[in-house]
């Protein structure tokens, strides 16, 4: 099945805006709603998602961070529900505080049920380099820390789980929107995703650290059309079957 034509997308966008106008007491309310949305996550991503999914209601955000700078935060505020998955223990504590309505899960997605070590730099230049210990060799970790004056770090033991297990625990059989932002490991996660078991209608995938041709080829084989978002950071993929 072909993806939506530009004319179809324009019609959906117009209908959605008209519905907002009808449901809001004034045009200023509509403006305020869109302004609030752009205060969270990647600007424009949620606009595109609700255009493609005007009746959507379920999301999964993997790499949910603190839950505030989040692609799902605004969606939750208008009635969507879903899962927020975050591996980093410190970010997970903030996520629980900031997003109490979300089903929050502290786990590393893997191909097996087990545990792994998550190395966390609480502050400083290496804060953004927190991640799985196994992603680097000991020599690579030593070199990285020497280059940054050996900042303090904490090694946490974190649960690993398959997505199939997580979805089964939460009784998820389909998902409207999946936001995937795991700092360069997106293709590895997609290779673990149970596409037939739990179909997703729309994905946003952080792709600025990926080979985008490889990503698009992979997603097309899974039955999606893809477009690169104007922010040059994310790729949006929609199901050819479920949209």
Q: How confident is the model at residue 232 (pLDDT cuts 50, 70, 90)?
A: confident
Alpha-carbon gap, residue 198 to 166, rounded angstroms: 11
Q: How many domains does the chain have?
A: 2
What pLDDT is recorded for position 124? 76
Kindly state the average pLDDT of the residues 216-222: 98
Find the domain containing 219 and state its range.
6-112+162-239
Kindly state the average pLDDT of the residues 211-232: 95
Report helix, strand and coil shares of the chain as percent, to nearest 5: 40, 25, 40
Q: Are residues 234 and 144 in the same domain?
A: no
Alpha-carbon gap, residue 228 to 223, rounded angstroms: 17
Q: Are residues 186 and 221 in the same domain?
A: yes
HSE-CB at 211 with a 13 A cutoff on CA atoms is: 5
Q: How confident is the model at residue 180 (pLDDT cuts 50, 70, 90)?
A: very high
Q: Are residues 132 and 16 in the same domain?
A: no
Which of these, 209, 202, 142, 210, lies nearest to 178 by C-alpha position?
202
Structure tokens at 156: 């946490």
HSE-CB at 34 with a 13 A cutoff on CA atoms is: 14
Q: How confident is the model at residue 43 (pLDDT cuts 50, 70, 90)?
A: low
Whether the per-residue pLDDT at 122 is higher than 90: the answer is no
198 falls within a domain? yes
What pLDDT is recorded for position 151? 86
Q: Which of 161, 195, 219 is the last residue of a domain?
A: 161
């Amino acid at each position: 099945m072909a993806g939506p034509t530009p004319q179809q997308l324009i019609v959906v966008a117009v209908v959605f805006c008209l519905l907002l106008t009808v449901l809001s007491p004034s045009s200023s309310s509509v403006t305020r709603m869109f302004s609030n949305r752009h205060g969270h996550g990647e600007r424009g991503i949620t606009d595109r998602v609700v255009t493609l999914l005007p009746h959507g209601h379920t999301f999964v955000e993997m790499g949910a961070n603190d839950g505030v700078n989040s692609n799902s935060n605004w969606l939750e505020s208008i009635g969507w529900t879903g899962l927020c998955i975050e591996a980093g223990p410190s970010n997970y504590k903030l996520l629980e505080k900031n997003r109490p309505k979300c089903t929050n899960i502290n786990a590393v997605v893997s191909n097996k049920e087990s545990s792994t070590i998550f190395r966390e730099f609480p502050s400083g230049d290496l804060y953004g380099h927190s991640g799985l210990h196994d992603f680097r060799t000991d020599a690579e970790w030593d070199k990285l820390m020497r280059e940054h004056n050996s900042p303090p770090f904490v090694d946490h033991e974190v649960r690993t789980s398959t997505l199939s297990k997580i979805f089964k625990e939460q009784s998820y059989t389909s998902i409207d929107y999946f936001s995937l932002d795991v700092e360069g490991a997106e293709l590895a996660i997609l290779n673990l995703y149970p596409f037939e078991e739990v179909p997703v209608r729309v994905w946003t995938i952080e792709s600025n650290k990926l080979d985008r041709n490889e990503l698009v080829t992979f997603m097309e084989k899974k039955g999606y059309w893809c477009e690169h978002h104007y922010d040059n950071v994310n790729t949006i993929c929609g199901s050819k079957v479920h949209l």
